[in-house]
Structures are given as structure tokens and as C-alpha cells.
Amino acid sequence: MGVACGPAGLVVIDIDAHQVSVADRAHLLPGIPIPEQVELDGLASGFDTLALLAAYRGAKDPAQDESTLRVRTPSGGLHVWYRNPETSTRYRCSTGSGRNTALAWQVDVRANGGYIVAPGTRTPQGVYRAVGAARHPAILPEWLRGELRRTGHVIESQTPAAVAVPLAVAASPARAPRRAAPAHQVIDPLIALVAECAVAPEGTGFTEKLNRAAYTAGGLIGAGHLDHTAIRDRLVRVAHYARPWQQSRNEKIVDDALAVGSVRPLHLKGRP
């Protein structure tokens, strides 16, 4: 099961442990120079860079924060859940390898427009398991709020202009099987919302809307209402229309949400 971070008032620190080459020290903590005399032997993942950032600020390492909900991922990472106490402040999502906005190497941020897998969810890759005693998100620590602001995660308010969405992008297939019509009545409006995000490069909730559409499509696939290949192609096409500069990320969002949604079949009323 997935949770839309923005509407839930969540900011989730997503700590990765991917087996990749360590970034140059200039890119480990964006905006913070790490002197050559600082020994980095053994640094290998987001757990290390986040601990280093916390140490620099004299703060508690979020990975060790027992006051809040923490969820171990099937890949060995950790999701640290926090509540945003400032409803007037919205934070954008980022990846630890992002060029423009990043908190630390191999540390992603899931916030407005983002989507996080709930604890207890089973996926083909494994189970997302809560660790420790806390089962509810604590308030986002003040020092992390400061770091998110420093690293450009705060979304400035803007009023997007209207945009005309090409029919070929958002419309359902003209030759869709009649039996799939009820499913398209569910998924079509969600896909249209994704297409409308082309109005602006940020601040439109694109990731959240794409996640919701793909997660719902996954449920419809799991229940036998939609064909996986056809709906994936459509979701990817509309995502590329709205965010053409991040095609790899678009496909990852679609594939992840389809996988999670497919294990929770969405049966339509009046159909098996």
C-alpha cells in the first residue's frame, strides 16, 4: 500500500544502501565542503552520509531516531517517517544523486508530490517492515527543516496557468476492449491529471499524481481489468509528456507503483 506524502503531511527520509561507487567528497553533502583531513574510509551508503551530516550539525542521526516510525526496505534501505509541523511550508522530493536538489548522497527525500510504501506492504521484492517500537511519525526535527531549506527543498508558491492537453496524450485507446470500459472510467481521469502537470516544471504534484495513477492501474491489472503492457505504455507516454527531462525517473515511478498496486487487486463493482 502506498501513501501520498503531501496530503498526509509527511516528509520521509529515504536512506539507500545501493552497491555503487562512492561519490566524490564534494558531492557527498551538497553545499558543505568536507576537508581532506576528514577520514572517509568505510563510507559506503546513505546511512554514512546522513550520519555525517547529523554529526556536522551536532544532531541525532535520523537512522537512529527511535522516537519516529522507521521502515526497513527489501533492498536494505531505511525510510524514516516525519510529520511536517508547518502546514504553510511544502517540501519537494529529491534523490541523493540529484544535480540541483539533494540532502546527501544516497539519501532521498519523499515529500510533496511523493509517494512512500507503507509498513507491512508485501511486494515481489520483499516486505517493508517497521523497526523499533515507534509506529507513528514524529515531528520533523528543526535541524532537518533547516537543512531542507538550505538545500533547496522548499517549494515556493506559484499559480500555474491553464494548459491544453493534447487528446492523443491523455485519452484512452480508441480500440480498448468493451470489457475494459469500466476500468478506463476509473483510470482515465487520473491519467488526465498527470498530463495537466505539463503546465509547470514543479509545484503541480506530478509525482504524487503519477504514483496514484500507476498504483490504481496496478490494482486494475491485478484484478484482470487492464493489460499491463498497454497501460504501462500509456502511463509512461503521459509522464514523458509532462516531464520530458526525467524519462528514466518517470519509468521507475510507473514500474514501482504498478508493482505495488498489482498485489492489491482493485475489483470494480459488479465485476469479479
pLDDT of 224-236, one tens digit each? Answer: 999 999 999 999 9
**Distance (Å, rounded) from C-alpha 131 to C-alpha 80?**
10
pLDDT at 190: 93
Q: Which residues contact 212 (CB under 8 A, 6 or more apart)?
A: 4, 115, 190, 257
Cell digits for 95? 534523490
Q: Contact at 8 Å (CB) between 8 and 117?
A: no
Of 271, 267, 265, 269, nearest to 219 (Cα)? 265
Which amino acid belongs to residue 74?
Answer: P
pLDDT at 178: 54
Domain boundaries, the chain: 2-150, 167-262
Fold of 2-150: Prim-pol fold (3.30.2250)
pLDDT at 179: 57
**Distance (Å, rounded) from C-alpha 120 to C-alpha 130?**
7
Of 10, 207, 185, nearest to 94 (Cα)? 207
- Stretches in the chain below the pLDDT threshold 70: 1, 96-100, 157-180, 269-272
